[in-house]
Structure 1
Amino acid sequence: MSVPQLGLKASADGWRGVIGDGFTVSGVSLLAACVVDRVGLTTGAPVVLVTHDGRRAGAEAAQAAARAALAAGARQVRLVPHLPTPTATAAVRRGDADIALLVTASHNPARWNGLKVKVAPGCPLPRDLEAEIDAHFQVRRLDVSSRDDFVAEPADALVDQHIEEVLARAGTPRPLAVTVDGLGGVAGEPVARLCERLGWTVTRVACTPDPDFGGIVPDPSVPASRERAAGHRTDLAIVLDGDGDRIYLLDHLGRTVQPSELLALLLERREKLGVPTAGVAVTTSTGTAVREVARRIGAPVHEVGVGFKHLSPLLATNSVDVAGGAVGDLSFTEFGLDRDPFAAIVLLAELLSGTGSSLAALLDDLRARVGGLCWFESKVDVEGADPRAAGLTALRTCGLDPIEITEVDGTKFWLPDGQWLLLRASTTEGGVRVYGELGDEHATRALVRSVEEQLTNGINWGVVHD
Structure 2
Amino acid sequence: MARIKFGTGGWRAIIGDEFIRANVRLLSAALAGKMVDEGVAERGIVIGYDRRFLSDIAAQWAAEVFAGAGIPCQVIKVAQAPTPLIMWTVKDQGLPYGMAITASHNPALYNGIKVFTAGGKDADEDVTCDVEERMGALEGEAEAGIASIDYPKAVASGAIEEINPFNGYIDSIISQVDMEAIRGAQLKVALDPMYGVSRTSLQTILLTARCEVDVINDRHDTLFGGKLPSPTSAGLSALKRFVVDNKADLGIATDGDADRIGVIDDLGNFLHPNQLLVILYYYLLKYKGWKGPVVRNVATTSLLDDVAERFGEKCYEVPVGFKWISGKMLETDAIIGGESSGGLTVRGHISGKDGIYAAALLVEMIAVVGKSMSEIYEEITGQFDPHYMAETDFAFDPERKPEILKTLMEDRLLPDFTANVVDTSYTDGCKVYFDNGWIIARFSGTEPLLRIFCEMPDQEQAEQACEEFRQFLGL
**Residue 317 of structure 1: CA displacement?**
3.5
Call closer, same or farther: CA 1:349–1:223 in 2, change over 3 Å.
Answer: closer
Q: Distance in 1 between matches of 2:326 and 2:82?
A: 18
Partner SS state of residue 261, structure 1 = helix
1:422 aligned onto 2:422? no
State the distance in 2 between where 1:318 and 1:71 align.
40
The one-letter code sitting in structure 2 at the alignment partner of 1:280 is V
Q: Equivalent residue for 2:286? A: 272
Question: Aligned match of 1:404 in 402, 413, 423?
Answer: 423
1:95-244 aligned at under 5 Å gives the runs 95=93, 97-140=95-138, 141=143, 142-148=145-151, 149-150=154-155, 157-171=164-178, 172-173=181-182, 174-220=185-231, 222-233=232-243, 234-244=248-258
Distance 1:391 1:263 in 2: 32
Change (3 A) 1:134 1:387: same
State the distance in 2 between where 1:331 and 1:255 align. Answer: 23
Partner-residue secondary structure (3-state), 1:34: helix
How many Å separate the matches in 2 of 1:217 and 1:168?
33
**Aligned twin of 1:461:** none
Q: Secondary structure at the match of 1:128?
A: helix
What letter corresponds to residue 239 of structure 2 in structure 1? Answer: A
Amino acid in structure 2 at the alignment position of 1:330: L
Q: Which residue of structure 1 aligns with residue 352 of structure 2?
A: 338
Alignment map for 1:333-372 (pairs within 5 Å): 333-372=347-386
Residues 144, 164 of structure 1: alpha-carbon distance in 2 compared, 3 angstrom cutoff: same
The question of 1:447 aligning with 2:465 is answered yes
Deviates more, 1:291-300 or 1:184-193: 184-193
The secondary structure found in structure 1 opposite 2:263 is: strand
Counterpart amino acid of residue 131 in structure 1? C
Match of 2:19 among 18, 23, 27: 23
Corresponding residue to 2:321 among 284, 294, 307: 307
8 A contact 1:29–1:68 mirrored in 2: yes
Superposed displacement of residue 147, structure 1? 4.0
- What is the aligned length? 447
CA contact (8 A) 2:188 2:213 kept: yes
Alpha-carbon separation, structure 1, partners of 2:413 and 2:309 = 27
Inter-partner Cα distance in structure 1 for 2:424 and 2:85: 39
Secondary structure (helix, strand or coil) at the match of 2:392 reads strand
Aligned to 2:5: 9
Deviation at 1:154, TM superposition (A): 7.9
Which residue identity does 1:9 align to in structure 2? Answer: K
Checking the alignment, whether the CA contact within 8 Å between 2:192 and 2:218 is kept in structure 1 is yes
Deviations 1:327-363 (A, max 9, x none): 1111112112222222222322332122110001111
SS in 2 for 1:73: coil
Give the letter aligned to residue 109 of structure 2: R
Farther-moved stretch of structure 1 (68-77 vs 249-258): 68-77
Distance 1:339 1:301 in 2: 18
Please say if residues 79 and 150 of structure 1, whose CA atoms lie closer than 8 Å, have aligned partners that are also in contact. no
Q: Deviations over 1:301-331 (max 9, x none)?
A: 2111101011112233354232111111111
In structure 1, the residue corresponding to 2:33 is in which secondary structure?
helix
Once superposed, what is the RMSD of the aligned Cα atoms?
2.3
Conservation of the 8 A alpha-carbon contact between 1:53 and 1:209: no
The separation in 2 between residues aligned to 1:71 and 1:239, in whole angstroms, is 39
Task: Report matched runs for 1:85-100 at 5 Å.
Answer: 85-95=83-93, 97-100=95-98
TM score, norm. by length of structure 1? 0.90
Q: Distance in 2 between matches of 1:355 and 1:405?
A: 40
Question: Could you list the runs of 4 or more consecutive aligned residues of structure 1 that deviate by over 4 angstroms after TM superposition?
Answer: 151-155, 388-391
Deviations 1:34-89 (A, max 9, x none): 12321342423232222221222222211100101112331233342541011111
Change (3 A) 1:106 1:363: same
CA drift of 1:275 comes to 4.0
- Distance in 2 (CA, whole Å) between partners of 1:348 and 1:428 is 28
Deviation at 1:119, TM superposition (A): 2.1
Give the secondary-structure state (helix, strand or coil) at the position aligned to 2:165: helix
CA–CA distance in structure 1, aligned partners of residues 19 and 31 of structure 2: 16
Q: Distance in 2 between matches of 1:408 and 1:348?
A: 32
Distance 2:413 2:234 in 1: 26
Q: Output the CA distance in 2 between the equivalents of 1:323 and 1:39.
A: 29
Aligned to 2:312: 298
The 1:338/1:414 distance shift into structure 2, 3 A limit, reads same
Q: Secondary structure at the match of 2:242?
A: coil
Letter in 2 for 1:116: K
Determine whether 1:327 maps to 2:341. Answer: yes
- Unaligned 5+ segments in structure 1 are 458-466
Give the CA deviation at 1:274.
5.5
State the alpha-carbon separation in 1 of the partners of residues 322 and 309 from structure 2: 22
Shift of 1:284: 0.6
- Mapped partners of 2:98, 2:435: distance in 1: 44
The residue aligned with 1:45 is 42
Structure 2: gaps (5+ residues) = none
Partner SS, residue 382 of structure 2: helix
The one-letter code of the counterpart of 1:437 is E
Aligned mates of 1:293, 1:27 — CA distance in 2? 45
Q: Does structure 2 conserve the Cα–Cα contact (< 8 Å) formed by 1:241 and 1:247?
A: yes
User: Structure 2-normalised TM-score?
Assistant: 0.88
Match of 1:464 in 2: none
Whole-Å separation in 1 of the counterparts to 2:175 and 2:285:
20
